[in-house]
């Protein structure tokens, strides 16, 4: 009888571990948009650089980079394309929903690959996130590293 209890406990633990592993393997795809992206695609910020200081009181250029995908305006549904969104002082939004449009989530739906940005003095983070023709992140999501800049 004692062996049955130990066997049942071991089986329960094995099932819990298997369920956790299955959830971990499925989760990234389950929380992404419906539009596929190449697995090797990535976005990056070409300028400014991480840790760089930019002058306060005047706009500075932010240059968007993208590899293994193309840029297309919003509303244009073409394979392996999307458009940039610049995230300012926020974390990545939910990957299965439309990217918000506000002062922290700037949309570049005309296919822009750079912008002029003016931020108040202080420490800021910026990050790129690609969106499909409907502003929803791709599957897998294509985004840049979050960088920190200083405005002085």
Q: Does 55 map to a domain?
A: yes
3-state class (DSSP) for residue 26: helix
Number of domains into which the chain is organized: 1
pTM, rounded to two decimals: 0.80
pLDDT of residue 72: 96
What is the pLDDT tens value at each position of the chain, 152 positions in all?
Answer: 555 555 544 544 544 444 443 333 333 444 789 999 999 999 999 999 999 999 999 999 999 999 999 999 999 999 999 999 999 999 999 999 999 999 999 999 999 999 999 999 999 999 999 999 999 999 999 999 999 999 99
**Strand pairing report for 70-71 and 81-88:** parallel
For residue 88, tell me if it sits in a domain.
Answer: yes
Inside any domain, residue 81: yes
Cα distances (Å, whole numbers) of residue 45 to 13, 19, 38, 92, 144: 45, 38, 19, 15, 7
Q: Give the residue numbers spanning the domain of 102.
A: 42-151
Give buried/exposed letters for 105-121 (b at 16+ CB in 10 A, else e).
bbbbbeeeeeeebebee
Cα distance between residue 124 and residue 111, in whole Å: 24
Would 8 be classed as within a structural domain? Answer: no
For residues 22 and 126, what is the distance between their CA atoms, to the nearest angstrom?
A: 33
In a domain, 29, yes or no: no
Asked if residue 123 belongs to a domain, the reply is yes
pLDDT at 147: 98
- For residue 146, what is the domain's CATH number? 2.60.40.10
- In Å, the largest CA–CA distance within the chain is 78
Q: Residue 14 domain-assigned? A: no
- Whether 87 maps to a domain, the answer reads yes
């Amino acid at each position: 009888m004692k062996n049955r209890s130990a066997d049942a406990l071991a089986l329960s633990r094995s099932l819990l571990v298997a369920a956790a592993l299955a959830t971990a393997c499925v989760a990234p795809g389950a929380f992404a948009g419906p539009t596929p992206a190449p697995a090797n695609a990535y976005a990056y910020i070409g300028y400014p650089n991480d840790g760089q200081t930019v002058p306060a009181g005047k706009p500075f250029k932010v240059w968007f980079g993208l590899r293994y995908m193309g840029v297309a305006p919003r509303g244009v549904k073409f394979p392996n394309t999307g458009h940039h969104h610049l995230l300012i002082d926020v974390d990545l939004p939910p990957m299965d929903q439309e990217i918000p449009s506000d002062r922290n989530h700037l949309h570049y739906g005309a296919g822009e690959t750079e912008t002029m940005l003016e931020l108040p003095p202080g420490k800021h983070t910026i990050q790129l996130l690609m969106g499909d023709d409907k502003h929803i992140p791709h599957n897998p999501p294509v985004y840049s590293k979050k960088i920190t800049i200083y405005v002085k």
